[in-house]
Amino acid sequence: MLAVEDLRVRYGKVAAVRGVSLTCGAGELVALLGPNGAGKSSTLLGIAGGLESGTVSGVVSLDDHPLQGLTPEDVSRAGVVLVPERRRIFASLTVRENLMVGASAWASRRQATAHAEQVIQQFPMLASMAHRHGGLLSGGQQQLLAIARALMAKPRVLLLDEPSIGLAREMVNTVFETIRRLRDDGLAIVLVEQNVANAIALADRALLLRKGLIEGVAQSGADQVLSSYFGRGEGAASPT
């Protein structure tokens, strides 16, 4: 489904991502792990088309259809949707309006509204506050709203950037339970996460990034991933 080959991101003289390759199929969750500045968020932004064209190179494709060079809205409409770090929900818009922004791919308002009803039913916490402004929600509620907004675009691939950052433990569990459900429903998910334990509990594969390079790829298995993450490569397989 999603294939990324030799993705490179450069901000001026700084190479943030130096040749990342990965694949993610339907119902699969690939975790990108690594310290701050490893290039995880830049990788997601590069895939989502969220960076200026001159800063990104490499090949990104969905079912062999190239995505590189497309505008962010076209990447989103193609089915690859980013849930960015810090949620970036629209604070002045209501929960329902936030969802409607994500419905841009739908042909008519009627279809979009019907889909919004389906999506919001998946998030009982949001269902009761459909008319509340996004800025008045808690961090956890905003995170669920950001995921729900992404689902409005009928995605096939979800790019999740630090979904648990700044959330209380109970809400972290809710968010990860939601991610598990989406993966089980067949979504391909690329997850950037500092919460390594939660990420590897869900991941089919974990890519360990350092300084913009994949240092190791660990197949599912907590011990292998943890030793790779904390032991700088011990036990990690070679990148494939």
Write out the residues near another protein by the rule CB under 8 A: 48, 50, 52, 71-73, 76-77, 81-82, 84, 88, 90-93, 97-98, 100-105, 109, 112, 149-150, 152-153
Q: How far is the CB of 152 from another protein (least distance, A)?
A: 8
- Judged by CB, which is closer to another protein: 43, or 98? 98
- Output the CA angle 102-104-107, nearest 5 degrees: 135
Alpha helices in 27-82 (DSSP H): 40-48, 72-78
Q: Which residue, chain included where needed, has tokens 């995921």?
A: 147
For residues 9 and 183, is the Cβ–Cβ distance under 8 A?
A: no
- Judged by CB, which is closer to another protein: 122, or 173? 122
What distance in Å separates the CA atoms of residue 130 and residue 226, rounded to the nearest whole number? Answer: 40
Q: How far is the CB of 44 from another protein (least distance, A)?
A: 10
β 56-62/65-66 pair status:
antiparallel
- Judged by CB, which is closer to another protein: 75, or 214? 75
Q: How far is the CB of 169 from another protein (least distance, A)?
A: 27
Q: How far is the CB of 235 from another protein (least distance, A)?
A: 36
What distance in Å separates the CA atoms of residue 26 and residue 140, rounded to the nearest whole number? Answer: 26
What distance in Å separates the CA atoms of residue 71 and residue 78, rounded to the nearest whole number? Answer: 11
- Judged by CB, which is closer to another protein: 151, or 188? 151
174-195 residues labelled b (16+ CB within 10 A) or e (exposed): bbbebbeebbeeebbbbbbbeb
- Judged by CB, which is closer to another protein: 130, or 222? 130
Q: How far is the CB of 85 from another protein (least distance, A)?
A: 11
